[in-house]
Amino acid sequence: MKIATTIAEVRAQVAAWKKEGLRIGLVPTMGYLHEGHASLVDEAVRQCDRVVASVFVNPTQFSPNEDLDAYPRDFSRDCTLLESHGCHLVFHPEVEEMYLPGAATYVEILSEMPKQLCGKTRPIHFRGVCTVVSKLFNIVTPDKAFFGQKDAQQLAILRQMVRDLSYGIQLVGCPIVREEDGLAKSSRNTYLNAEERQAALVLSQAVFLGQKMVEEGERDTAKIVAAMTDHIAAQPLARIDYVSAVDGITMEPVSSIQGTVLVAMAVYIGKTRLIDNFIVEDV
């Protein structure tokens, strides 16, 4: 596995691979990798000939009051995981390599999509995500890019960006990977102390509760969201940011389960903000 720190290195390697007719897969990450990231690499290896993973904590998606400086980092550990799962190239740039002095260009979706769910309390987040992913697409020029379904709103927004900007790239959404007790794997789980870690189970418990209600025939999203909200609110360490049911493509709120519906949440456990979700395909 090779490690590249410059855009030029990545472009040279990808050009050589493409000259051989090889298909390129990209797995964008912010590092501190876990089994969820590993599952993305595994799927990329399965579908592509060469896999590039980026490890870059992107400053443009963090607001000033968020955890940019505290965000966990362990590049050596990341490389061990990536290599063991068959990654071929790691792109690990400095901030100055990705954002040149005086950089003033952003990629932003001017619809309601980024204003829903996480966007209500993180207003610049998706502008930063779209900008850095667009840059990675331009640098790596992959055939396919792999993202986790845990960040469902992000994936929907990136699909819109790919469509609108005519990127010839297939986005592949991969299932949420959970701990044995149900908690969705996240780099931010490391912030939790033992008591908070136990309390965080209310997120996945609420997901499973919502799924069960849908499976039993409930189609009123207000009732589903209310039951999930009540369950989370009963946990003293939990503070709800949102629990919402939205159209799985537009991110607009919906009142009933019809078509593709995303039921998503963001919950603070202590000071740590965690997300989880499930998707219903009602055809």
Helix (H) or strand (E) holding 246: strand 238-247
Q: Which amino acid is at 208?
A: F
- 34, 37, 92, 125: which is the annotated catalytic residue? 37
Measured CA to CA, the distance from residue 36 to residue 41 in angstroms comes to 9
Task: Report the candidate in 245, 268, 36 with the shortest Cα–Cα distance to residue 147.
Answer: 36
Helix (H) or strand (E) holding 42: helix 35-47
Measured CA to CA, the distance from residue 175 to residue 194 in angstroms comes to 26
- How many other CB atoms are there within 10 angstroms of residue 199's CB atom? 19
Q: Please, what is the Cα angle at 107 between 104 and 111, to 5 degrees?
A: 130
* Token pair of 146 as six digits: 């792999």
Residue 88 bears catalytic tag: no
Measured CA to CA, the distance from residue 194 to residue 188 in angstroms comes to 14
Q: Are 30 and 72 in contact (CB under 8 A)?
A: no
Residue 182 exposed, middle or buried by CB count within 10 Å (0-12, 13-18, 19+): middle
DSSP string, 172-225: EEEPPPB-TTSPBP-GGGGG--HHHHHHTHHHHHHHHHHHHHHHTT--BHHHHH
* Token pair of 50 as six digits: 């060469």
Catalytic residues: 37
